[in-house]
Chains A and B, each alone.
Chain A
Amino acid sequence: MATVTTKAAPAVGDDKELLISGSEAVAEALALADLDVVTAYPIRPYDTVMQAIAKKIANGQLVAEYIVAEGEHSQFEIVKHASTVGARVFCGSSGVGWMYAMECLVVTPPLRVPMVALVGNRALDDPGAFGVEHNDALVVRDLGWMLCWIDTSQEALDTTLIAYRVAEDRRVFLPLAISADGAFLTHSQALTLVPPKEKVDRFLPRYDRGDLLLHPDNPITVAPQANEDWVIEIRRQNDEAMKRATTVIEEAYADFRRVFGRGPENPWFEEYMLDDAEIVLVGMGTISLPMKVAIREMRSQGQKVGLLRLRWFRPFPTEKLVAAVSKAQAIGVVDRDYSFGSPFNSGVVANEIRAALYNADRRPPLLSFICGLGGREVTLEDVKKATDMCYAAAKAGKAEARTHWLGVRE
């Protein structure tokens, strides 16, 4: 091994630097947010955050009710109720565990419960695989859950703080699921800056449920039976809350930058070498890592490729995203999910972006790539192959085949 020069570490100010996984970073944020109630039921890879919280409580770094439920259904029910009486709550699951909680996941948005959950993304059974796919979290995409994807331990910590700020804003009061790719984020330890509590207190106000607080001093009934005379209005309220979330998210990120001195200017997506990109690749989560490395290599060979890493899937940043991708010669969307029988048999994200582009003045060819399912490695070669197909579509002015599976043995 050759000698290498030493570079000084950057100053970290009053933040401390820890070597922690994405799950441990979430637990750090929960301690800083002074969490009240957390429920747990083990399923890999989410269980790593559950263990990290338990350790924090055992070490005296967090005082919170830690309730071990007998299954995911109860796990999500318990925090839903705790939230209605004014507790700041946390919950989470993975894969089929998230599915088992489905009834509770469905009722949480209409009740306007600002639950924050971590979905450690995991392939749905069968086969009982532990690796990442995004279909688990995506199942709630139409229900009023806010959904975002993160790609580093640092973003895990920062986004957890932002999540409470957004979900608990009275204009929103909707549940929020943070998705973390199983293994790549939940199980990898990276150097992460942890801010002091004083800073967090300046950013995150206490949870105030106001007139929706379930309390003897505020007698209300939550979730009465209702029929067709009432339902569509309730849905319209949810619709409005989700629309308002767009403003609240932008406010939260701006304030986060002001208080912590870091964080993205564009909350919605990371723009990596997008300015002059001929080909724009789109992905969510840790897939950004091989994509960025491949893009650097392709750039060094003169190919102008950029990455749009989507952070927020709900609310979907329609106008901003259209503005960012519609000037490209071709778009390649890499989905770590599937949507069997969907238009063009494409991935979920690809079809969302297609729909978003429908009214755009300029609609470049869009290719859908299904890749990395079940935690399969997304290689630099996969990314380069996708880019080549995008260039071919740009040249032809249309994509011959709209969906391609990459990295499958065939």
Chain B
Amino acid sequence: MSALIVEVVYRGIFQKNLAARICRGIVLSARRSGRWGIAFGRYGDSPQRNGIPAKDFAIVADSVEELEQNMARYEPKHTDITVVLDDTLSKGVESWAWYGLQPINKLTVPNGTVLMTSLQTFDSLLKDIHKKDAPYKLAVIRAKASFSGLWVHKEDHTEVRVLGALAKIAPHFLSLEGVAQAIPEMEWGSDLKVTSARKAHDRLETREVKMTEGNPEVPYAFEMPKWWEMREGVSIPAIPIGKPKEGGQGYVPERNPYFKKYTTRTMRPVIDFDTCVKCNLCWISCPDSVFDVMPDGTFDAAMEACCGCGVCEAVCPVENCITMVNEAVFEDNASQWEMWRRDKAAYKTWLGAKIGDKQATVRSHGFRFRGQYDEELKRDLDAGGTEITAGIPGENAAHKTV
């Protein structure tokens, strides 16, 4: 193989600049050894919606012809390395361009690498990552989902840590020295960031994943219609009206069978049905009509439709009745109401564990108070994490070229 194809999967808009930096860094690092390259975003992801999974790509090759061979596609069909910038993307990605659910490792070639920033254990991640019909490697940089590069937040060196890790995974294309030479030339580069890249290179954790390992769920898919099957006049049928629940009580709306939206979610609402006052506010406020009316008048959140915006938590008048909890601590989209109906005591225990875990209820995307991100970065460091040094946006501005 004489080309390296990397995809960077990220959360739309929040991590857009971060992903672009990584892909530019890959090409410019490989250029250090005379290779050719191209960096591009998946156009179908644009304009980016908050949190929607999106992709950038970098391709480097020994010659222009080999580069063209691999570029001659709308987007790569196979990637040597899949970089994942938020571990909640382990559950798969559904683009807003409507094409079903794609496992996070779908494009990764056999024996390729999925490289992720995460604080979870390998085993915990593999509960979410779908099974693959070939072995591959899972590599982890110990970090939470980064906002590095988003214009209003501080630098946390994630882009260079990823580049350092890539130099460990694909040293023939990206030598550590190439990375170390390329970083200071970026408009966001610095010598300090070179140190971070070297540390990430040395500290990368990697584990082989067997074909038998992973989430056995069959990813949701649908067949796109032929031109003569589609309605004329650029029209689509309305979603049908819904139905009551059992006994004619309650109400469950029909939902779009082609676009489910839940891979946008980084947190999900957890509901205490015992304290619900049936005020309707969550039901009326939800921008995605996620709430189903149950026969007893409480509201269950349909997890396949929820994108995790948190409006329900914000409008709920009862303390701890709706609590947003990090998506990583859940393994399926099962109904909370059904779980509660089956065994109320067991549900109470489950609920208490979920909303009692302060690590999981701290907002992962968006902030509850000013300075929260800085506090979290410091806490990560105090907890023994890799050193993260906040840079000054615009440092190295002398190298601005575009």
Contact = CB atoms under 8 A, between A and B. Distances in A.
Given A1-B1, A183-B43, A189-B24, A6 B170 contact: no
B38 A131 contact: no
B46 A44 contact: yes
A183 B97 CA distance: 15
A18 B401 contact: yes
B47 A44 contact: yes
Interface in A178-203: 182-183, 187-191
A279 B228 CA distance: 32
Interface residues of B, number: 42
B402 A292 contact: no
A69 to B, nearest CB: 21
A174 B163 CA distance: 48
B39 interface: yes
Interface in A287-346: 289-290, 292-294, 296
A20 interface: yes
A3 B34 contact: no
B212 interface: no
A396 interface: no
Nearest to A16: B401
B43 A182 contact: yes
Nearest to A52: B402
A232 interface: no
A188 B38 contact: yes
Contacts of B43: 45, 130-131, 182-183, 187, 375
Contacts of B27: 19, 189, 191
B335 interface: no
Contacts of A191: 27, 31, 36-37
B34 A59 contact: no
A127 interface: yes
A189 B56 CA distance: 11
Interface stretch (B64-72, B119-127, B267-275, B311-319): B64-72
A379 B72 CA distance: 8
Contacts of B71: 289
A408 B284 CA distance: 41
Given A1-B1, A4-B62, A130 B172 contact: no
A45 B43 CA distance: 10
Of B4, B37, B74, chain A has the most CB atoms within 10 Å of the CB of B74
Given A55-B402, A130-B46, A187 B40 contact: yes
A296 B401 contact: no
Contacts of A233: none
A7 interface: yes
Of A4, A20, A408, chain B has the most CB atoms within 10 Å of the CB of A4
A409 B72 contact: no
B68 A410 contact: no
Contact of A410 (B35, B63, B226): B226
B345 interface: no
B369 interface: no
B238 interface: no
B163 to A, nearest CB: 14
Of B4, B27, B28, B401, chain A has the most CB atoms within 10 Å of the CB of B401
A126 interface: yes
Given A126-B234, A289-B68, A410 B227 contact: yes
A409 B226 CA distance: 5
Nearest to A27: B402
A27 B402 CA distance: 9
A18 B172 contact: no
Contacts of B234: 126-127
Contacts of A410: 226-228
Interface in A360-410: 375-377, 379-380, 408-410
A225 interface: no
A296 B43 CA distance: 27
Contacts of B2: 2, 4
A1 B172 contact: yes
Q: Nearest 10 pairs between A and B by C-beta?
A: A183-B43, A377-B74, A188-B40, A293-B72, A290-B72, A189-B39, A9-B34, A409-B226, A126-B234, A7-B34
Interface of B: 1-2, 4, 23-24, 27-28, 31, 33-41, 43, 46-47, 62-63, 65, 68-69, 71-74, 80, 170, 172-173, 224-228, 234, 400-402
Interface of A: 1-9, 17-21, 24, 27-28, 44-45, 52, 55-56, 59, 126-127, 130-131, 182-183, 187-191, 289-290, 292-294, 296, 375-377, 379-380, 408-410
13 contacts: A4-B1, A4-B172, A19-B31, A27-B402, A127-B234, A130-B43, A131-B43, A187-B40, A188-B40, A189-B38, A191-B37, A410-B226, A410-B228
